[in-house]
Amino acid sequence: MKIAWIGTGIMGAPMCGHLMAGGHSATVFTRTRSKAQALLEAGATWADSPGAAAADADAVFTIVGYPADVEQVYFAADGILARAKSGAVLVDMTTSSPDLAERIAVAAEERGLGSVDAPVSGGDVGAREARLAIMCGGSEAAFNRVKPLLDLMGKTVELMGPAGAGQHTKMANQILIAGTMIGVVESLVYSEKAGLDLNHVIDVIGSGAAGSWSINNLGRRIAQGDFDPGFMVRHFVKDMGIALREAKRLGIALPGLALVEQFYEAAIAQGLADRGTHALFHVIRSMNGA
C-alpha cells in the first residue's frame, strides 16, 4: 500500500520503519525534517505538508504531540482531510481527546474517507520492537482495511468500539500508568534510602505480585541513572489532563490521578519536561532531601 506518515519522533520513526520493512511505500512529513532522515535514507519520499503527504496515500498515519497538532494536520485548509483521496483510511495514533477523534470520523465520512483512532502503549521500546498495544476506535470496515498495517507495528491490536473508543481505552491505560509510576518511584526511593541495590530489588519484586512493565523496564532505567525519554513528562501531563477532563465530563472523580498530575507538574517546574516519565523519581527523591 501507499502510506503517508506524519510525525517521525521517538515513536513515529520506528513505527513507520516497520511499515516500510513490510514492503509498503511511504511519503513522510514532520516539522523537523532531520528527524525523518533515517526514513528518507531507507527510501521514503519527503512531502512539504501533511496534505501533500496524504494526497496519493491509501492510508494516512499521524502521531504528533498534542490535540492542537492533530487539529492542525487534519483540519487546516491544506491538511489531510482536504487532500486525502477518496477511499483512503486516516489513522491517528496520537494520544488525543475522544471528542476530537469523533470529529475527525464525521469529517472523514463526509468526504468518503475511513478513519480509525489508534493510540498506542509500549513506549520507545515497544515502538522499536513492534510490540505495541494498539487500541482502536472506528468502523469495522476501516479497522479491517488497516489492521494488516497495524499488525506490523503492534503485538496487540484491538478494535474497542466506535470512533473515540481507542482514545478512551488509552485514557484508561494512562490512568493505570500514572498510579503505577508513583508506586515505582516511591518504592525505589525507599530502597535507595535503605541502602539496597536497586537492580537487586527489581530482580526480586519485579518477579512477584508487584511486578509490572513499569518496574521491570523503567525501574531499570532509574537504577542505571538513565532518564532519557521513552515518553516525555510533558506529553504525559497532556494525557493526564485529557483523562481528568473526560472524567469530569463523565461525572466521576479520579483523586489518585489528580494527585499524581500535581507531582508531574512539579517535575516540569524542576526542568524535567523533556525527560522520561520515570524522571518522577527525582521529584520524590528531592522531597526527601536527596
pLDDT tens digits, one per residue of 214-230: 999 999 999 999 999 98
pLDDT at 288 over 80: yes
> To the nearest whole percent, how much of the chain has pLDDT over 90?
98
Type of residue at 187: S
Residue 147 shares a structural domain with residue 183: no
pLDDT (0 to 100) of residue 17: 98
Residues 6+ away with beta carbon under 8 Å from 289? none
Residue 117 three-state SS? strand
Residue 157 shares a structural domain with residue 28: yes
Domain end residue (candidates: 116, 134, 161): 161
- Grid coordinates representing 259? 494527585
Residue 248 shares a structural domain with residue 213: yes
d(CA 281, CA 38): 33
pLDDT at 289 over 90: no
Residue 61 shares a structural domain with residue 43: yes
CATH number of the domain within which 236 lies: 1.10.1040.10
Give the dihedral sign, CA 170/173/178/179.
positive
Residue 187 shares a structural domain with residue 282: yes
The total domain count for the chain is 2
pLDDT (0 to 100) of residue 143: 98
Taking the whole predicted model, whether its pTM rises above 0.85 is answered as yes
Picking from 154, 9, 166, the residue whose alpha carbon sits closest to that of residue 92 is 166
pLDDT (0 to 100) of residue 105: 98
User: Which residue is it, cell 461525572?
Assistant: 251
Residue 189 shares a structural domain with residue 242: yes
d(CA 196, CA 188): 9
pLDDT (0 to 100) of residue 230: 87
Which residue range forms the structural domain that includes residue 198?
168-287
Average pLDDT over residues 175-199: 97
Residue 173 shares a structural domain with residue 153: no
The CA distances from residue 276 to 6, 184, 221, 236, in Å, are 23, 14, 10, 9
CATH number of the domain within which 112 lies: 3.40.50.720
Residue 199 shares a structural domain with residue 124: no
Average pLDDT over residues 183-212: 97
Residue 89 shares a structural domain with residue 63: yes
Helix axes 67-75, 98-110, angle to 10 degrees: 10
Residue 58 shares a structural domain with residue 99: yes
Domain end residue (candidates: 142, 161, 180): 161
Domain end residue (candidates: 105, 127, 161): 161
Residue 116 shares a structural domain with residue 182: no
Q: What DSSP state is assigned to residue 290?
A: -
Which tens digit of pLDDT belongs to each residue from 56-104? 999 999 999 999 999 999 999 999 999 999 999 999 999 999 999 999 9
Which tens digit of pLDDT belongs to each residue from 157-174? 999 999 999 999 999 999
Q: Quote the mean pLDDT of the chain.
A: 97
Residue 155 shares a structural domain with residue 206: no
- Grid coordinates representing 44? 521514503
pLDDT at 290 over 80: no
How many CA within 13 A on the CB side of residue 221? 23
Catalytic residues: 170
